[in-house]
Structure 1
């Protein structure tokens, strides 16, 4: 009998293997902007101002200094120390006002009144509960709660508020959402609510700085205001004229009164869009300019009439004024501030031309991200526009916000066409396509048009995907409003077979109609040569159970039609039972063979995460819940995979685990209230409600491994590994599993190798095993610190089923990158010498 010795070596040559670790601290990308709720501007010297902005992000309030003389200089924004992402004030601060004397800012959050200063992290509680409106004027603070007006003085040095001895005063009735304005002409305090006429409008009998126990509030008439108009903003002009701005849903209107409401004059501006929440005024000779929303006009103080209305001037689609708050600079009458689709803009010529001043404003609410396989170019969708980045792997260059065809609605989805950065689809209420890197755009679809007639408010394109095998096949998914809004309308799944030129709907749950399922995400795969779409949807408890879509639908395209099934039915799950859930995010691995889906369980409303391996059992299987949050009211918001590690965002936390792992680790915790909407592996990009951040899986590594290899010698398996550095390393427990599916593997300890403690040099380790199993065996290392904490390495697999012929397969992914894999096999060759080994050398150039 001849004896043969075969040496088969499997080495991890192209990438380092790292012991499991926490993620590094977030490194922000240079993407600035965001949606703004409120402004406040104060004068800090004869030629400087300070601007405060509140945003729809966890970074609640920012501030910046402005030099207003000569050529104005707008400094970058910084987060207010006490009202940042880690302070929990959230995205809903819509009323605030700063005191010019002390520099303190006062703001309302959740009906509580607070104050803070840009130089301190301290936030002072002024009043708790029921606060509905406030303003600051001339060193006094005024605010309403229930049917009371409270007021007092602000210390010019410390910013401390002292309530007046006569405060509070009782008003004739409570104001739900109050606007308080001091008239600069007669010095009286005006209080009003907003909405459809007649609104409540009060005027104090005393000057703002002389309120006392005998002060009364007279009711002014608003009954003659046009009732069909929704009045949203109130103000007092520099000459004492009182004003409301409103809209009819398509055109802005202004009503003004020069006799305290006895009569009103309504003016049509001719400017489209909705009204704004406030007014701003700036002197212009003996007259003054009135600003609101995105328009302005001169008010003639002699004729008491408006001149022609104009829209803020912009020079391109990157800087587009919207209908938000406005403010006038107190030290330079040519400077005005306004909200834009990207964030905040300014004009130094009274509004004729505007430009962005967003630098430092980390409030971009990232909703989607897609990058080419070369990791050099990407498209990003955010509530404040579309961004494009080039040179990401070397020197990233981010574009300013792009608004296709001037469409300033929030964007929720972005998809690059088959690694081609020139071609992309993006979606808000509508779907747009570019074929020249965003220089021009074409609207290719909107479900707001017939025959679908989706509502223009609340509808959004949450997902767009292009099939890599045929880029003519494009799919998108609509959601209508939120389940919390108790809407009865559902979105749908739409597709195009001609690259986006024409579209049709494929029903998933409904048997007829157009309102079918709220789609949250879509992934496309190839199975059996056919395109297959997996569609994650919302399980909406607010609608009838018979019409509720749920979990994940699978739709297979045969070239002319779709075959649809619910892929979370019992026949397609590892438990054999149907799964009812809301699936928020999905991911397909780079190799295309494994799917991930996360969301929230429909029963106890806790986070869930499933995987499906397209080969083999082909069933949706839950990951281990050990170390994974299970409390009600939380949800898996985003999922990704890279370097054999699964990443899942649950609210503000990122959890991570090797695919073969048995327990989850908290990789990083963002401040409470942070929305994590996107995870994209490269190392890891995290898209949140404050921007996009890079994080590496290499922070505070106790052990840095540089290789982990296995080889077969006769009947023995030889494991070799090397470390570059070690800190407090007790040693390595060697674990083995003979299961073919490592995700459900039972690992057993087979040995231990002592570590080197603390070392900054390369250390080599070896372990020899003689397994009884003669097919496929997997190994991993459990690295243990001196304090008992531990982390797992990647796995290596050894196969005793040797091939009978030489075979070298195509590398994947292709084109080649540092994560490329090449599968090959070598035959068992008999030689004249039983001691001769058959070795293969694979060189990569």
Structure 2
């Protein structure tokens, strides 16, 4: 509050003026553009002499409880302000103000409008006040019934329009005078909402703005009103020459017309954004979902959030998720899917049930929740089916899976649910005294978090018990987790917190206190975007992050996995520990360190790294990097997953190295499981020894052979036999 924004190019761009106040501002006016006056609550008057760049507070002579609702600047020096039983006048361009008394009237003064220095009107409680001598004398005229008139427009010396109160079983008051305000005619029926502003462009044609309603237009002095589109729930209208005009309202509503006041364009995106997702550093989406007076829909940026455009034809929603640059989802009263980067959207099979949150454990398997129902997909969201229906007293708020088997819910109306078989069965955790959870996040089988509106719970034993985290408890955080990797976690809401150590400690962002953050999209542990109400979009860039990992990818070459990654900058980087875990029977095992790659200390240049994990058996594997500083600090990367497939044919590879002394590696591919034998023969075909005789699973295999010290140099043959299939290769031993 206490904010003023300014444009110098017709509303294309806006800047914030320095007001140095938190008191709400109600009106702002200027006669010449250089001297700008603003008024507000508790007798607030602000003055600027530099075209609205900076403002100083002026003593008004009235204080707390005397709000100044009306403001009129007549010329370079003369101005008026009115409000709660108060009328003020300035004759020195707003440097000083004097209280003006009106004998016989002690009520509220809602709006003031002057035709010239001498002739003016004030809208009051059931009356209008009229002056013809510059405010020396005021005539009190009854205007219709006794309910207030909130606004008045002096069209010319004879024609005046006024409007105001609306309420239950009471159509908004609107009046018209054709004899200089002496007599008033009641206008046609409007809604029961109050009229905030009335303005005419000629004696016949005028407009009104109302609370919670579209604007209305008359062409016969208020005897009939018709609805016009484009401006809803606005408070003030400024109609200019050449068919141009502006309207403003609550929640950053600013609209402009340039074609005769019939079509209005929004100048500021003031959607209440509910989520955000970036598919790259430059391309991202923000979604909004609700509000009569606030538009809703999907917005897209291609330049890192500098410019946003609304995606025509896209649905609105509460949750937003992309699997890659092309495939994405919007959740609202139905699930919507795109396969072309957000250009077109459709409802997939089973998506009619809707989604409050959508979660994918990989590129194919995902879940969605809405009300008391959990939906699942196994084909990238093309088909959804109901997996679980809880009692009607339950409202699911969030869902999170650790792997394809283990998952948790956060919900109102009962304790959280847990599954250990991919959602086939859900069991309510009756051992937990947590009834109003809003979000859930796990970093593995044991460590996880549940979030309530003002409480954070942590478990380190797989959910058997949860303990309160005192750093968060007591703050209204609204309840959303966002995580970049296992260690970097954000909690957003009316307070925003961050952890860089998997939730062991939390850091507050005091500059965001009281600002509702509804969505976060992290592209790196120190880089991302956030959204909030009233079109709020923030960019997060933490330059203190020591190592900025820009990519981490994996690929498969037969039974080897190639890991590649890049960094943009490094500070004090000792290196990267490579960690792997295998997924067996759809359950993730523990992480194991399998290698280390040295870092480059401190550098601002792009660095590229790679690591090859060799000779793996068939199966699914997950990898992550543990970036380690010289001072002992560490940070985990996102995980990447690969699958080593089963060979489709039998193959015995050439040993390496060859020739060899004294050791060599023998590799082979086996499409079946069974007893596998490797025997060594000399050049005469005589068996020398058995190198391998084991039962092995199908897959890619390798055996290190070390020649017996008594074995002479020469040509040898090694033969692999699996079932009824055999293959032979030649090797050369040199001493």
TM superposition score normalised by structure 1: 0.53
Match 1:369 to one of 264, 276, 288: 276
Counterpart of 1:190?
A: 122
687 and 362 in structure 1: CA distance in 2 versus 1, 3 angstrom threshold: same
Deviations 1:291-312 (A, max 9, x none): 4354443444xxxx44754443
Q: Distance in 2 between matches of 1:75 and 1:223?
A: 40
Pairing 1:22-41 to 2, within 5 Å after superposition: none
Aligned pairs for 1:390-539 (under 5 A) are: 398-400=308-310, 413-415=318-320, 424-425=329-330, 427=332, 463-465=356-358, 475-477=369-371, 493=372, 510=393, 521-523=397-399, 525=401, 534-537=409-412
Q: Bigger radius of gyration, 1 or 2?
A: 2
1:161 maps to 2:95: yes
What whole-Å deviation, never above 9, does each CA across 1:645-674 have from its counterpart, x for those lacking one?
Answer: 3333466664332344643345x5535543
Q: CA deviation at 1:347?
A: 1.9
CA gap 1:649/1:497 in 2 versus in 1, 3 angstroms: closer
- 1:832 positional shift: 2.8
Q: Distance in 2 between matches of 1:694 and 1:388?
A: 18
What corresponds to 2:29 in structure 1?
98
Deviations along 1:447-497, whole A, 9 cap, x unmatched? 9xxxxxxxxxxxxx99344788999985335xxxxxxxxxxxxxxx46789
Q: Tell me how far apart the structure 1 counterparts of residues 383 and 39 of structure 2 sit (CA, whole Å).
A: 47
2:417 paired with 1:554: yes
Deviation at 1:524, TM superposition (A): 5.3
- The answer as to 2:312 corresponding to 1:312 is no
User: What is residue 598 of structure 1 aligned with on the other side?
Assistant: 451
What is the 5 A alignment of 1:232-381?
Answer: 234-238=151-155, 239-244=158-163, 255-258=174-177, 264-268=185-189, 276-283=195-202, 287-293=204-210, 294-300=214-220, 305-306=221-222, 309-312=225-228, 320-330=230-240, 332-338=241-247, 343-356=253-266, 358=267, 361=268, 363-370=270-277, 378=285, 380-381=287-288
1:334 shift after superposition: 0.9
Deviation at 1:235, TM superposition (A): 2.6
How many residue pairs are counted as aligned between the two chains? 578
TM-superposed deviation, 1:63: 1.8
Q: 1:123 to 1:674 in 2, by over 3 A?
A: farther
Query: Displacement of 1:82 after TM fit?
Result: 1.4
CA separation of 1:306/1:563 partners in 2, compared to 1, >3 Å: closer, same or farther? same
Contact in 1 for aligned 2:493/2:515 (Cα 8 Å):
yes
Secondary structure at the counterpart of residue 201 of structure 2: strand
| Residue 413 of structure 1: how far off its partner (Å) | 0.7
TM-score by length of 2: 0.59
8 Å Cα contact 1:189/1:207 also seen in 2: no
SS at match of 1:681: strand
Secondary structure (helix, strand or coil) at the match of 1:351 reads coil
Deviations 1:772-802 (A, max 9, x none): xxxxxx9885655xxxxx95444999xxxxx
What's 1:688 paired with?
532
1:759-778 to 2 correspondence within 5 Å?
A: none
Instruction: Report if aligned partners of 1:677, 1:687 keep a CA contact under 8 Å in 2.
Output: yes
- Equivalent position of 1:62 in the other structure: 5
Check conservation: 1:426, 1:432, Cα contact below 8 A: yes
Structure 1 unmatched ranges of 5 or more: 1-57, 67-73, 193-199, 226-230, 314-319, 406-410, 448-460, 478-492, 511-515, 538-548, 573-577, 602-606, 709-720, 736-752, 765-777, 785-789, 798-805, 811-824, 836-845
| Contact preservation (8 Å) 2:282, 2:302 | yes
Q: Does structure 2 retain, via aligned residues, the 8 Å contact 1:415–1:424? A: yes
CA distance in structure 1 between the aligned counterparts of 2:418 and 2:451, rounded to whole angstroms: 19
Q: Describe the shift of the 1:617–1:338 C-alpha distance in structure 2 as closer, same or farther (beyond 3 A).
A: same
CA displacement at 1:98 relative to structure 2:
1.3
Query: Are the aligned partners of 2:405 and 2:420 in contact in 1 as well (CA < 8 Å)?
Result: no
Distance 1:657 1:470, change over 3 A: closer
Alpha-carbon distance in 2 for matches of 1:282, 1:759: 62
Q: 1:648/1:622 Cα in 2 relative to 1: closer, same or farther (>3 Å)?
A: farther
Structure 2 segments unaligned to the other structure (5+ residues): 553-564, 578-597, 610-624, 647-698, 710-735
Match of 1:149 in 2: 86
Report what 2:649 is aligned to: none
- Counterpart secondary structure, 2:288: strand
Structure 1: distance between partners of 2:325 and 2:637 = 34
1:153 Cα deviation from its structure 2 partner: 0.9
Give the 3 Å change call, closer, same or farther, for CA 682–422 of structure 1 in structure 2. Answer: closer
Secondary structure of the 1:256 match is: strand
- Alpha-carbon separation, structure 2, partners of 1:500 and 1:249: 48
**Counterpart of 2:189 in 1: which secondary structure?**
strand
Offset, 1:641: 0.9
Maintained 8 Å contact 2:276/2:521: yes
- Displacement of 1:172 after TM fit? 5.1
Q: Deviations over 1:72-103 (max 9, x none)?
A: xx3523222315xxx7849xx47212122443
> How far off its partner does 1:705 sit?
8.8
2:71 is the counterpart of 1:140 = no
Give how far 1:506 is off: 6.2
- CA drift of 1:336 comes to 2.2
What is the RMSD computed on CA atoms of the aligned residues? 6.1
- State the distance in 1 between where 2:244 and 2:551 align: 61
Counterparts of 1:421 and 1:761, CA distance in 2: 27
* 1:278 counterpart SS class: strand
Q: How do 1:695-706 and structure 2 match up within 5 A? A: 695-697=540-542, 699-700=543-544
SS of the aligned residue for 1:203 comes to strand
Change (3 A) 1:288 1:261: same
